[in-house]
Amino acid sequence: MSRTLCSALPATRTRTGSVTVEGWIHRRRQLATVTFVVIRDRSGLAQVVVTDPLVREQVSTLPEETVVRVTGTPIGSEKAPGGVEIIDPTVQPLTAPSEPPPIELWRPGLGVTLPTALDHAAITWRHPTRQAVWKIAAASMTGFRRHLDSAGFTEVTTPKIVGQSTESGANVFPLDYFGATAYLAQSPQLYKQILTGVFERVYEVGPVFRAEPHDTARHLAEYVSLDVEFGFIRDHRDVLAQLRDALAAMVDTINEKAGAAVETVGAQLPSIPEQIPIIHFREAIELVGAAPTEPDLTPEHERFLGAWAKSRFDSDFLAVEGYPAAKRPFYTHPQPSDPRWTNSFDLLFRGLELVTGGQRLHNHADYLAALAARGEDPAEYAPYLEAMRHGMPPHGGFAIGLERWVARLTEADNIRQATLFPRDLHRLRP
């Protein structure tokens, strides 16, 4: 008999005959004359009611997390999930009985500390509240690609083993590459720019690596970067508009594909304004009451600005444009009217920096000047500069950190909760 997913059980009410579900024994409750078994599959939960003494005895040997096939009769029941439960079942274990798991997955919450949850990630991700977090992440990736595919972007994959560090020598992981020294890519920045010279519009969803020596709630040594770069722009505001549309598609796709997950974790999805409000860095510094010479915003400043955007524009998002050139990478395009500032932005989401983006330099001579000003050797950037030497359109782009986005959406205390198998200063396993 073909398998019915738990979520499809209500649709079986009008049929006669039996159904088969397959999944994990999520919870057993053995009462005096009846045993309730809750089955968990990828779609949700279903309740099975066992009264036959022989089947009850069999089920008593099958601990939670045993994988089973259950065939029985679906009937309406007000108390069961979806209004349908299965009675008169036969139960077939598909795997040898499980050992009781280290975490009681049937409880509403995990009830363990973060380190314990991470140590047992192979099991804790089975918990419905954990699964829901990742389903929001997966839908975010799908939505990101949907927008870019529809906007004429080409997906690219760039090397993660690179011969030079992307932007500076700091915080890179070196590795032995057949006797030479190579590095793990900190971002696809240089490659995505090169490829803008090929396909005009490119995106990549892939891992990036930062040898972050900080043990904080918001840093990971490896994370997923949603990268975009495209040409024939006027300035960074075209980049911000594209980012706006990508975020809108991500939220729409979360609603469409992970609506139940959003409910499970109680996430408040943002509405994305048609125009994301923009404030210049200079004005932002004034607004938060910092010294005009301050070169960057602190997390406290960002929180303040987030609250300000919410009350002033009813927006969860605020773009801060014009960051000082000194705090931006060498490839950042200056603000034409005043080169102390740049055509770049940070996007704050609920008072936290979510995205960095902007316009890049596109003239070869400007690259040589920018590298010289920082005392960097152009030879280190030879293939990148070759692209610039032979005609690059005005271009720009941005990168969204997937885990940071999901952590903020789900109000996770720690970014590790939004990562399937986080990597940090102390954690290499699982």
Residues 200-259 that bind a copy of itself (CB under 8 A): 200-201, 205-207, 209, 211, 213, 221-222, 224, 232
Candidates 241, 194, 205; CA nearest to 387 is 194
Asked whether the beta carbons of 227 and 206 are under 8 A apart, the reply is yes
- The residue assigned the tokens 């609603």 is 255
301 lies in the site for a copy of itself, by CB under 8 A: no
171 lies in the site for a copy of itself, by CB under 8 A: no
d(CA 26, CA 21): 13
Residues 129, 131, 171, 356: which binds a copy of itself (CB under 8 A)?
Answer: 131
Residue 402 assigned as binding residue: yes
Residues 75, 112, 114, 138: which binds a copy of itself (CB under 8 A)?
Answer: 138
Residue 27 assigned as binding residue: no
Let me know if 93 is exposed, middle or buried by CB neighbors in 10 A (0-12, 13-18, 19+): middle
d(CA 235, CA 231): 10
Whose Cβ is closer to a copy of itself: residue 216's or residue 271's?
216
Q: How far is the CB of 262 from a copy of itself (least distance, A)?
A: 15
HSE on the CB side for 41, CA within 13 Å?
Answer: 17
Peptide bond into 329 cis (omega under 30): no
Q: How far is the CB of 425 from a copy of itself (least distance, A)?
A: 6
Q: How far is the CB of 119 from a copy of itself (least distance, A)?
A: 8
In the numeric block, which tokens belong to residue 388?
């610039």
Within 41-70, which residues bind a copy of itself (CB under 8 A)? Answer: 41-43, 65-67
Q: How far is the CB of 382 from a copy of itself (least distance, A)?
A: 8
- The residue assigned the tokens 């439960």 is 85
Whose Cβ is closer to a copy of itself: residue 128's or residue 273's?
128
373 lies in the site for a copy of itself, by CB under 8 A: no
Axis-axis angle for helices 236-257, 128-150 (nearest 10): 130
Question: What is the distance in angstroms between the CA of the first residue and the CA of the last residue of the chain?
Answer: 37
Whose Cβ is closer to a copy of itself: residue 18's or residue 66's?
66
Binding string, residues 323-362; x marks residues near a copy of itself by CB under 8 A:
---------------------------------------x
Residues 34, 122, 217, 260: which binds a copy of itself (CB under 8 A)?
Answer: 122
Asked whether the beta carbons of 412 and 134 are under 8 A apart, the reply is no
Q: How many CB atoms lie within 10 A of CB 29?
A: 10
Whose Cβ is closer to a copy of itself: residue 22's or residue 353's?
22
Q: Which stretch binds a copy of itself (CB under 8 A): 44-52, 265-273, 325-333, 382-390?
A: 382-390
- The residue assigned the tokens 């293939």 is 383
Residues 9, 86, 132, 195: which binds a copy of itself (CB under 8 A)?
Answer: 195
In the numeric block, which tokens belong to residue 163?
């011969």
Asked whether the beta carbons of 336 and 366 are under 8 A apart, the reply is no
DSSP state of 339: T
Chain-centroid distance of CA 13 in Å reads: 38
260 lies in the site for a copy of itself, by CB under 8 A: no
HSE on the CB side for 1, CA within 13 Å?
Answer: 15
Whose Cβ is closer to a copy of itself: residue 3's or residue 107's?
3
Residues 51, 83, 99, 314: which binds a copy of itself (CB under 8 A)?
Answer: 99
Within 141-160, which residues bind a copy of itself (CB under 8 A)? Answer: 141-142, 145, 149, 152, 154-160
